[in-house]
Amino acid sequence: IHGGAYRTGQGAVPWYNGAQFAHNGDIVTVSINYRLGALGFTDLSRFGEDYATSGINGILDQIMALEWVRDNIAQFGGDPDRVTIGGESAGGFSVCTLLGSARAQGLFQQAIPQSGGAQHTLTVAQGELVADAFLDAMQTQDMDGVLAATADDILTAQTRVDETLRGALGTVSAFYPVEGSAILPGSPLMAIRDGMAANVAVLTGTNKDEATLFIQGKVDAEKLAKEAGHYGGDQALIDCYQGLYPEMSTTALSIALSTDYTFRVPALRLAEARAAHTPHTWMYLFSWESRTGHLKATHALEIPFVFNNLNKPGVSIFLGKGEVPEALAEHMHAAWIQFIQTGNPGWPAYDLSSRKTMVFDTESALVDDPDAGKHDVWREIR
């Protein structure tokens, strides 16, 4: 399931080419598209039963794709009883949302949310706020006006809403799956904490420096304090990170906070939520650093390693100059194949005592709790 902040993207990106999975693991790869932005995630249920699930149109598209796989994948050599769903960024968010949706249960046996998390949804009230803003931007208060709009009208309104509300919502996009329908009655994380999808094996993780892709300019102390407040923290959050990383500039601290708030902590919460019900969760941390600019182990960089597609267009720009890290790509690709084939990537599962995590780098290693020192400060925040 492709990423793109629930606003952009498509399944035919060369980085997602599954040829290496087919060649090396006899695995059939299916990439999908789903409705995005306002068309995929605006809760217009106020206009009647026909729009009761409009806030999760994109998720329903994904469920329909999984039903297609169930009904047809045998014709392509696949096994409908051995389905693994995977996705990165908003695709990873989607995987976690599907883990927490009763409607999706039974359609897959394994899941790989990369840079995902089960906390990327909107409450009913937040969904109403987005819908109000969207209708205002469309200059209409009824469905006749919405249905009469052109694609350009919708995109213009979508951009305006996103720019206005994204920061206030604390999300990467104003258009997120909205809770409150029969398909997604509440928080996916809470459903998973209650035991949903406990029979599904999960491989999850994030990249060490996700936010370098989004934070380009310098961040001073004042802006850092505002950022911590925006996340629901205070000076204690900044003090914690300054204690853990005394050598970091305020900009680097901002990148670390944003990385953890948006990606790492939600991945940890997913693993923790499952720990009471199942031992079948595995954690990774991608730490290999790009030689391009300040990217380091940035958002999405792990994708061509997982798919063993370092030769695809655009990858070299992210890798930077120097030796191509083929050995790491082969290592990660093999681990993903092993997980897809067996339900185990080849290292100990994640538990709340040791929190064993595979750190992928030039020299990969199994590490106990690479997030030590952060757990307490985030517990009441995220």
DSSP assignments along 125-190, one per residue:
HHHHHHHHHHHHHHT-SSHHHHHT--HHHHHHHHHHHHHHHHHHHTSS-S---B--SSSS-S-HHH
372 secondary structure, DSSP code: T
81 secondary structure, DSSP code: T
296 secondary structure, DSSP code: S
Collapse the DSSP code of 365 into the 3-class scheme (helix H, G, I; strand E, B; otherwise coil) and give the result.
Answer: strand
Q: In 3D, which of 173, 158, 153, 147 has the Cα closest to residue 48?
A: 147
Q: Is 89 an active-site residue?
A: yes
Cα of 202 vs its chain's centroid, Å: 14
Q: Catalytic pick from 2, 45, 54, 89?
A: 89
Q: Catalytic pick from 94, 227, 272, 299?
A: 299
Q: Catalytic pick from 210, 227, 272, 289?
A: 210
The C-alpha torsion from 240 through 246 and 249 to 250, rounded to 10°, is: 20
Q: Is 272 an active-site residue?
A: no
Q: 141 Cβ partners below 8 Å, 6+ apart?
A: 135
Provide the token pair at 137: 């931007």
337 sits in which H/E element = helix 326-342
How much is the CA Rg of the chain, to the nearest whole Å? 20
Q: Is 299 an active-site residue?
A: yes
Catalytic residue ranges? 89, 210, 299
